Amino acid sequence: MANLVLLDPTYEAFTDAPAKHNVRAIAPPPKSLKKLRVGLLSNGKKNGVALLEAVWAELSDRPDVGLEKVMTIVKPSISVPPLQADMKRLIEDTDVVITAIGD
């Protein structure tokens, strides 16, 4: 079985540099993927949900992972953040969020 590779797409703003303002620390990666509640967040482009569903299909087929999909959210537009209510649901009801562009 192939190893699962996790990529960290963080931006340089997530540093401890003193010149950075209004920046929050990134949560550490989970020690295990077992029993985590997952949210899928699409940026609103036409293939975003399809890409996320394909990623989810790969993850859910792995017996060593054991994730639970809680929700799929599609942003109203690529140029805006998720709706406040959707962000609240992601924060309160998931442990991990997977996002995709879908170009």
For residue range 62-85, what is the model confidence (pLDDT) as tens digits? 888 888 888 999 998 888 888 999
Q: Residue 8: inside a domain, yes or no?
A: no
Rg, C-alpha atoms of the chain: 15
Q: Residue 78: inside a domain, yes or no?
A: yes
**What total of structural domains would you count in the chain?**
1
97, pLDDT greater than 60: yes
Q: Residue 19: inside a domain, yes or no?
A: no
Once rounded to an integer, what is the mean pLDDT over residues 5-9?
58
Q: Residue 53: inside a domain, yes or no?
A: yes
The reported pLDDT for the residue numbered 101 is 80
Q: Residue 70: inside a domain, yes or no?
A: yes
Phi, psi of 46, rounded to the nearest 5 degrees: -60, -30
Q: Residue 26: inside a domain, yes or no?
A: no
Supply the range of the domain harboring residue 49: 41-100
Burial class (CB in 10 A: 0-12, 13-18, 19+), 58: exposed
10, pLDDT greater than 60: no
Q: Residue 51: inside a domain, yes or no?
A: yes
Once rounded to an integer, what is the mean pLDDT over residues 32-51?
89
Query: Which amino acid is located at 89 in the chain?
Result: R
Would you say the C-alpha torsion 79, 22, 87, 93 has a positive or negative sign? positive
Q: Residue 29: inside a domain, yes or no?
A: no
Among 7-11, 28-32, 49-53, top mean pLDDT goes to 49-53
